[in-house]
Amino acid sequence: MVHVLVFFLLVSALASPLKKRKSLKEIKEINCEGPYIGLVTVFPPEETAFLATGAFKPHKTHPFVDLSGRRFRVGKIVDKKVIYVRCGDGMVNAAAATQQMLDLFDIKGIVHFGIAGNVNDSLSIGDVTIPKQFAHTGIWSWLNPSAPSIPDAVAHLDVARYNVPKGEGANLLGSFAYHSEQFFSELGKPNTARPLVWAQTSQQWLDLAANLEGMELQQCVNSSLCLPKKPKLVVGLRGSSANIFVDNAAYRDFLIRNFGVSSVDMESAAVVMTSLSNGFPVVVIRGLSDMAGGQSGENAIQIFGSLAAQNAVKVVVQFIKTLP
């Protein structure tokens, strides 16, 4: 029994390097036909919306490469060569998949897309936002209630402000101090980070995206379920990302007041910072699926998530068509 187990372990250990070598050989052949636009989305409903458009045409010889548990799909959208990957939820997955794509494939820029929560009352569910900058709002210190606050913090969230009823004694949860990100870049000195709060998406791509404002977006999930008004595309606002699904009115208001953001998600800042660190242009296209806690009743993501994803994908396809 022990010999059988050892045999299977050896076979498994040998199979992994062989599989990797095969993938690297395929990547070399794929890169000979590059460069490509890198497309990064997050979870299955967004992928379903993307593939359902029929705009993506797989490569005839190398339709995909499997790496580290992810499938990198190779193909075209109209005459533009693209490589698409679904990264998975959260900042770590987003950064890892983006870095892997930039390291291994001949990429000329990253288009990141998906759905997001809406924290801007001038926007509506179904709208699509292409932000000009992102903050990573998941870097904070949970402060000791008896310790002084951090003077150079980006923002402070005092939990006691949200006591119900107000003024009922001290809140032992204390407060959070939000920090800037440590940003490493190939344009900077090696091993030297600079503080960064707002990561800027690529201005040239934002200018191209601005030409799409006014395009027709989908208003109805089906014949009996429609949004009260036509969705719109808005370019140039602010977004935030953290490993937090925001469905809380008080925290939503805090983000608006302190960061002035219009959308919240769990990946975009990681994709943007990874792209910029490597010196690649990047743009983010997010369809608004819910009110991030600003609603009365249940979160609308289950009802309008698919519509938000379809509208984001519609903008993605049009944006790629406009790229020179």
The DSSP letter of residue 166 is T
Last residue of a domain, one of 179, 207, 232: 179
- The pLDDT assigned to 104 comes to 97
116 and 257 in a common domain? yes
Residue 2 in domain:
no
99 and 165 in a common domain? no
Question: Token pair of 258, please?
Answer: 């302190």
234 and 113 in a common domain? yes
130 and 83 in a common domain? yes
Residue 4 in domain:
no
Residue 19 in domain:
no
Q: What is the pLDDT along the chain (324 residues), one digit of tens a residue?
A: 655 555 555 555 555 677 778 788 999 999 999 999 999 999 999 999 999 999 999 999 999 999 999 999 999 999 999 999 999 999 999 999 999 999 999 999 999 999 999 999 999 999 999 999 999 999 999 998 887 778 889 999 999 888 888 766 778 888 999 999 999 998 899 999 999 999 999 999 999 999 999 999 999 999 999 999 999 999 999 999 999 999 999 999 999 999 999 999 999 999 999 999 999 999 999 999 999 999 988 999 999 999 999 999 999 999 999 998
Question: Token pair of 242, please?
Answer: 């953290």
190 and 173 in a common domain? no
213 and 109 in a common domain? yes
Instruction: Return phi, psi of residue 59, to 5°.
Output: -65, 135
**Is the Cβ–Cβ distance between 157 and 178 less than 8 Å?**
yes
Q: CATH number of the domain that 260 lies in?
A: 3.40.50.1580
153 and 288 in a common domain? no
Q: At what angle do helices 301-322 and 44-52 cross, to 10 degrees?
A: 50
- The pLDDT assigned to 168 comes to 67
- The pLDDT assigned to 6 comes to 53
Residue 3 in domain:
no
247 and 274 in a common domain? yes
Side-chain-facing half-sphere of 151: CA atoms under 13 Å: 0
Supply the range of the domain harboring residue 106.
30-137+185-322
Residue 9 in domain:
no
- If one counts the domains in the chain, the total is 2
Side-chain-facing half-sphere of 47: CA atoms under 13 Å: 15
CA proximity to 239, closest of 209, 205, 271: 271
> Which amino acid is it at 90?
G
Question: Token pair of 69, please?
Answer: 């548990």
- The pLDDT assigned to 302 comes to 95
Residue 22 in domain:
no
Instruction: Return phi, psi of residue 18, to 5°.
Output: -65, -40
Whole-model pTM above 0.75? Answer: yes
- The pLDDT assigned to 12 comes to 56
- The pLDDT assigned to 187 comes to 87
Residue 291 in domain:
yes
- The pLDDT assigned to 257 comes to 96
* Cα–Cα distance for residue pair 200/189, rounded to 1 Å: 20
- The pLDDT assigned to 5 comes to 57
Question: Token pair of 256, please?
Answer: 């608006």
* Percent helix, percent strand, percent coil in the chain, to nearest 5: 35, 30, 40
149 and 110 in a common domain? no
55 and 71 in a common domain? yes
- The pLDDT assigned to 164 comes to 82
